[in-house]
Amino acid sequence: MTKNRKDTITVWSAIAMLFFGCCITLAGFIIEPIGEVHDSVLWVLGQSLIYAGGALGIANYAKASAREAVEEQVRMFKTTKEVANDTETTEDS
């Protein structure tokens, strides 16, 4: 499975869980007794929100953190390389 396909499946499953959570909550208002939502309905809504937040938020945070760490390492390497080149130039003079 390619990375792009995996990301697509993750996003669509999170959207489906949000949709399901909202639908079940609305059904809780419509079904007798009207206007009262049972605790189990709220529990399902909470679980769907947790899943969607985890699937979307944590994945994006991890990608951004990894990208930032790699960019920092590249900057440090370039700086070290420039200092080494400056030192060699000074010694040659």
Q: Is 38 helix (H, G, I), strand (E, B) or coil?
A: coil
Domain that holds residue 37: 3-92
> Each residue of 15-59: pLDDT tens digit?
999 999 999 988 888 888 887 888 888 899 899 999 988 888 877
Handedness of CA 33, 37, 41, 43 (dihedral sign): negative
Task: State the pLDDT at residue 16.
Answer: 92
> Each residue of 59-86: pLDDT tens digit?
777 778 888 888 888 888 878 776 666 6
Alpha carbons 3 and 66: distance in angstroms, whole number: 15
Is the model more confident about 20 or about 93? 20
Say which DSSP state 36 is in.
-
pLDDT at 88 over 70: no
Task: State the pLDDT at residue 20.
Answer: 92
CB 44 within 8 A of CB 24: yes
